[in-house]
Amino acid sequence: MEAIETMLTRRSCRSYNDKPVDEDALAKIIEAGRFAANGMGRQAVTFVAVTDPATVAQLSHMNAQIMGTDIDPFYGAHAVVVVLVDSSVPTCVEDGALAMGNLMNAAHALGVESCWIHRAKEEFESEEGRELLAKWGLPSDGSLRGVGHCILGYSDAPAIEAKPRRENVVYVK
């Protein structure tokens, strides 16, 4: 029942304080991501945990450029888990999305806030993104596709309530 409660109470956080994410918590969050369901057991997802402030800032800046803005799309988060997938796997995007969900739910279960930040695909298709992949020792030949950034940290704002769920979306036949 705790797992269901976690899924029902998790919300995206868009305002983070300066407290760093505990290394043990980060490792547990990523481990949960590794155990996400995936097409035919291919395990096509690669996770890059970024806690270096300069690299977090670089990723945020790249993401903002794609959005056409100069705001921080990472909302001040100090840890980012980049979710990349093997683009040759037919279910790669779905596999990455399931991993992102596991990351966010695991974070919430451990008292860490999170948010899915999009545009990883565009980031890692760019020359700067390919250079980062190479710097991290990963293939930079286009075989990895970005799915998302799971930003992590601790909120500096009160928890938000869930919006009411839409009606007439569940049918049992």
How high does pLDDT run on average in the chain?
A: 96
| pLDDT tens string 52-109 | 999 999 999 999 999 999 999 999 999 999 999 999 999 999 999 999 999 999 999 9
Asked whether the beta carbons of 121 and 97 are under 8 A apart, the reply is no
| pLDDT tens string 18-30 | 999 999 999 999 9
Please report which helix (H) or strand (E) contains residue 101, including its range.
helix 92-109
| Predicted local distance difference test score (pLDDT) of residue 1 | 73
pTM for the predicted model, two decimal places: 0.95
Distance of CA 46 to the CA centre of its chain: 12
Q: Which of 58-72, 131-145, 158-172 has the lowest mean pLDDT?
A: 158-172
Asked whether the beta carbons of 73 and 124 are under 8 A apart, the reply is no
